[in-house]
Amino acid sequence: MNLEYGTVSAWNAKTCRIRVDLHENGLTSYWLQVPQGYSKKSKRRCPVELGTPVAILLKDDGVGGVLLGAVYSEAEPPPIEDDDTDYMEYKDGTKFSYSPSEHKLDLSISEGTVNITAPAGVTINAAAGVTINAASGVAINAGAGGTTVIGVVNVTGDVIADGISLKNHTHPGIQTGSSSTGQPQ
């Protein structure tokens, strides 16, 4: 077996195999296997980008082999300099990182959406506050179960229920004395 370095020149998404241009001898490898994290009942597939500098292990005949992994260089340095953080950055700019020393998980989507689907429900537990910032509104569709809030609700602005404004509604039939007002309109 021989350790070789090169650049990915072809990627077969169906078979998860690559071909590598070998720098030292000017040759291109045969199709090489790309190890994945899982391939049985649990599955994972990480595509390999063309032009990625890699280390491969080739059989002595140069026909069989396997990708050992991508390698950094002066031209392609590591994206962060941190002894502790697990970091992943995608070609569209999306970033995912976890720092065990800071107990911090970050996900930054460069474009598009985040979808979370769970048939049995979603629970968010936080020992401190939860903040949601949205530039163009927040919609909560609770269905037949409705929405329950335990605790104080502070609202800056108006509250509108079934088309009736809390701040601007009127009550008909107001009279002095002990009688109650009519329904808001």
**How do the domains of the chain map onto residue ranges?**
2-70, 79-111
pLDDT at residue 46, as a whole number = 82
Fold of 2-70: OB fold (Dihydrolipoamide Acetyltransferase, E2P) (2.40.50)
Closest CA relative to residue 69, chosen from 48, 86, 89 = 48
Kindly give the confidence (pLDDT) of every residue in the chain, 185 residues in length, as a single tens digit, with 9 standing for 90 and above. Answer: 889 999 999 999 999 999 999 988 888 999 999 988 777 888 888 888 999 999 999 998 878 899 999 999 888 888 888 889 999 999 899 999 999 999 999 999 988 899 999 998 889 998 888 999 988 888 888 888 888 989 999 999 999 988 899 888 887 777 777 776 767 66
What is the pLDDT at residue 22? 92
In DSSP notation, 124-140 reads: ---SS------SS----
Distance (Å, whole) CA 156 – CA 173? 29
Q: Which residues contact 37 (CB under 8 A, 6 or more apart)?
A: 44, 46
Which DSSP category does 39 fall into? B
Q: What is the pLDDT of residue 64?
A: 87
Look at residue 74 in the predicted model and tell me its pLDDT: 87
pLDDT at 103 (0 to 100): 92
The label of the residue with tokens 């002066």 reads: 74
User: Can you give the pLDDT at residue 185?
Assistant: 62
pLDDT at 8: 96
